[in-house]
Amino acid sequence: MLTVATWNVLHRIHAENWGTDVPGHWPDESDRIAAVTARLAGCAEQVLALQEVSGDQLALLRRAMPDRTVRTLRYPRVPRARHGLCPLDDPGEHLVLLVNGQAQQVVAEAFDDDPGKGLLAVRTAGVLVVATHVSSDHRQARQLDRLAELAADSPGPVVLLGDFNADRATVAAGLGPGFTVVGLPLHAPPTRPRTSGTKSQHIDHVVVRGCGVKGAVVEETDGLSDHNLLRAKVVM
């Protein structure tokens, strides 16, 4: 069994550019970064997949979790503040995998059609684990094809973790046969809570190929991000 979790921790510049509530709850970004780090340090999962990790957030994670193997993808695109000054020393944006144990990096790439989205794949405990952040528009189909291609080329079990910016049915259809997108309990909190609009509130997923999933749980993160944390157990 492999325990996993995925969480979009929300890059501060995106939070401010898109008008989320998070900056109002956490006016000092260093305080929020410390709180996010403390939440992650308390996670017992063997693999943690993180999206929208700023350079400042990554630096603190490295210092606070020296027992974890850290694998990263830094996107070519660097978020830019639309209003005011940048609240970060390092505004770079990363995909991150924190692994309890050895993790051999297989590939780290931004998607060809979006320099701010991509995938990061490692092999750990005989499993190919892929962290991803997928675009929300027409580019999504091609990016899901790329994820399916990567999984199909890998021997053994595959686990995809991340923010897919789409509901379960859309992700399943885009990846095609052979993949299982974890289902959540009926009354589980949304992974991406919204107070308006028609977009799905369940866009973060654990997806497996060649193995099973049980015990999926959404954990509310108390305003630290605009996403909640999704946990699951992967069964070989």
Average pLDDT, rounded, for the chain: 97
For residue 195, name the pLDDT band (cuts at 50, 70, 90): confident
Range of 163's domain?
Answer: 2-235
- The residue among 224 and 84 whose pLDDT is bigger is 224
Total domains, the chain: 1
pLDDT at residue number 138: 97
Residue 75 has pLDDT above 90, yes or no: yes
pLDDT at residue number 54: 98
Residue 198 has pLDDT above 90, yes or no: no
Residue 163 has pLDDT above 90, yes or no: yes
Mean pLDDT value across residues 69-85 = 95
pLDDT tens, residue by residue, 90-146: 999 999 999 999 999 999 999 999 999 999 999 999 999 999 999 999 999 999 999
pLDDT at residue number 186: 87
pLDDT at residue number 142: 98
For residue 156, name the pLDDT band (cuts at 50, 70, 90): very high
Task: Give Cβ neighbours of residue 106 (< 8 Å, ≥ 6 apart).
Answer: 121, 122, 123, 128, 154
Task: Give Cβ neighbours of residue 100 (< 8 Å, ≥ 6 apart).
Answer: 45, 46, 47, 67, 68, 69
pLDDT tens, residue by residue, 34-56: 999 999 999 999 999 999 999 99
Query: What share of the chain has pLDDT > 90, as a percent?
Result: 95
Yes or no: say if 179 and 207 are a contact pair by the CB < 8 Å rule. Answer: yes
List C-alpha distances in Å: 150 to 35, 122, 167, 174, 205: 34, 12, 21, 14, 17
- The residue among 56 and 84 whose pLDDT is bigger is 56
Residues 62 and 39: their CA atoms lie apart, in Å, by 14
Yes or no: say if 78 and 115 are a contact pair by the CB < 8 Å rule. Answer: no
CATH number at residue 37: 3.60.10.10
Entry pTM: 0.98
Residue 196 has pLDDT above 90, yes or no: no
pLDDT at residue number 83: 86
